[in-house]
Amino acid sequence: MDKLLQELKTKVDQAEVYRLHTRTVPVNFRSGKLESIKSHTIDGIALRVTVDGRLGFATTTDLADSSELIAAAIASAKFGEPMEFAFTPPTSPITTAVYDPQVVAVPEEKLIDIGTRAIAALKDADPDADVNFSLSREETTVTIMNTNGLDLTERRTMISGGGEVGKASPGDIFLLFDDTESRYLDDMDMDRIVNRIIRYLRYGEKIVQVPSNPMPVVFTKNGTIAILLPLLFGFNGKSVYMGTSPLKGRIGEQAFDSRLTIVDDGTLPRGPRSAGFDDEGTPTARTPLVANGVIAGFIYDRRTAALVKTEPTGNGYKSGPFGGGGFRTPPNVGTSNVIVSPGDTPEADLIAGIDEGLLVDSVLGLGQGNLASGEFSNNVAVAFKIEHGKIVGRVKNTMIAGNAYTLLKDHLIGLGHETEFVHGVLSTPMIAVDQVNIVSG
């Protein structure tokens, strides 16, 4: 990479080299049987350059010959966006716990054993269910260097697992899915995944009807993404710059219920999206978004920060809002660990307080609706009816709709007192809101 930068100094105004080396060992079970164990390695370079004030980008996995990479990046700069920012200056990364030698040392046999035991528990709960399961361990090294003198390297680990259980009968397909991922082996809790799937299997044995009315909805931790996704777009610095965020210019305003606090924290020890630096080499940070209902800030990569004349927050990640884009895409504004603070209500009490409503665990078509305005409109994938504080069965052919900003300001019933990381990026409690529009087919 040093040689590549030296060669570039005479050809471009600025250059940044991003190298990603990842080795993954996945173990997959299909229909309860071990299907595959096949490790694979990714080793690639992404190059950003500026030429005559424009940004160029190219990638390669050919680490021996950089000539085509350089030519492609310079050529793309002719049609690239204007370069309104400078690449990251020399800096010290945040020190956080993101590497666990125990993850690297986990033998394939242990992964197989974990999967086998999980499948046995699920099959014992329902012998007729079709069970798929997957686990993987991953070791990643990220290196970022640029012509400004930046030189950073960090090793990271990840261990993940997830299960899918399906039941089919005439006119009905019931699918349940849950997963988890952790930087550290000790943080992975497969029993939680298995127990929750078993609990929802039992909830779903009976199919019931729900009326088409506005009513309370309790979003499980997995289900909260439906109501929180519009907010993630609203706090995105690119949306703020483009004027599509309804939160633009409202820092300091009480826009949500005072019980709601949200932080984007890339420095969280052991957080699944924690790192010492983002994909531009900017040190990660803890950025308050909502403080007791008050709008506190937004997240920025280097480009959007320069456009709105503020400092980057260490949120320049590849592949959009949730990161995880490997090395093939250029950085954009993305979240790190999004943390919703818990409330003081036990989860069982949230449900017990609902006379008639829904418990929503997952939806179809996530992101449907006008996210820029906070609107969501989704068919439910997995949801259960609540009557007189008890779950009485599963609902089908049902849609939920509402405005996240309105619901979380004027109709928040409560927040659960336990949080958990879901979807690899979001730490959240259960969230209960009233006046969600329900349409039943």
Query: Of 202, 227, 245, at which residue does a domain stop?
Result: 202
Whole-number pLDDT of residue 324 = 61
pLDDT at 321: 56
State whether 95 and 115 are in the same domain: yes
Q: What is the pTM of this model?
A: 0.95
φ, ψ for residue 196, nearest 5 deg: -70, -40
Is 273 in the same domain as 224? yes
**The two three-digit tokens of residue 41, written as one number:** 């390695």
pLDDT of residue 108: 95
Kindly state whether residues 279 and 424 are assigned to the same domain. yes
Rounded (to 5) percent helix, strand, coil in the chain: 20, 40, 40
- Per the structure, the complete domain to which residue 371 belongs is given by 206-441
Question: Checking phi first, is residue 95 left (phi over 0); if not, alpha (psi -120 to 50) or beta?
Answer: beta
The answer to whether residues 55 and 170 belong to one domain is yes
Among 202, 228, 261, which residue terminates a domain?
202
What whole-number distance in Å separates Cα of residue 411 and Cα of residue 260?
Answer: 12
Smallest Cα–Cα separation from 282: which of 97, 9, 91, 151?
Answer: 91
**Residues in the chain with pLDDT < 70?**
319-325
- Enclosing H/E stretch for 121: helix 108-125
3-state class (DSSP) for residue 95: coil
**Residue spans of beta strands (DSSP E) within 248-312:** 262-265, 286-291, 294-295
Residue at which a domain ends, from 202, 229, 259: 202
Give the chain's domain count.
2
Q: Are residues 328 and 180 in the same domain?
A: no
On whether both 140 and 15 belong to a single domain, the answer is yes
Whether 191 and 216 share a structural domain: no
In whole angstroms, what separates CA 193 from the centre of its chain?
Answer: 18
d(CA 326, CA 398): 36
The per-residue pLDDT for 285 is 97
* Residues 274 and 308 grouped into a single domain: yes
Residues 211 and 196 grouped into a single domain: no
Q: Can you give the pLDDT at residue 255?
A: 97
Find out whether 298 and 289 touch, Cβ atoms under 8 Å. yes
Co-location of 285 and 225 in the same domain? yes
32: exposed, middle or buried (C-beta count within 10 Å: 0-12, 13-18, 19+)?
Answer: middle
Query: What sign for the dihedral angle of Cα 402, 403, 408, 411?
Result: negative
Q: Dump pLDDT digits (tens) for 191-246.
A: 999 999 999 999 999 999 999 999 999 999 999 999 999 999 999 999 999 999 99
Q: Are residues 424 and 411 in the same domain?
A: yes
The two tokens of residue 326 are 């490997």
What CATH number corresponds to the domain at position 7?
3.30.2290.10
Task: Specify whether 256 is located in the same domain as 163.
Answer: no
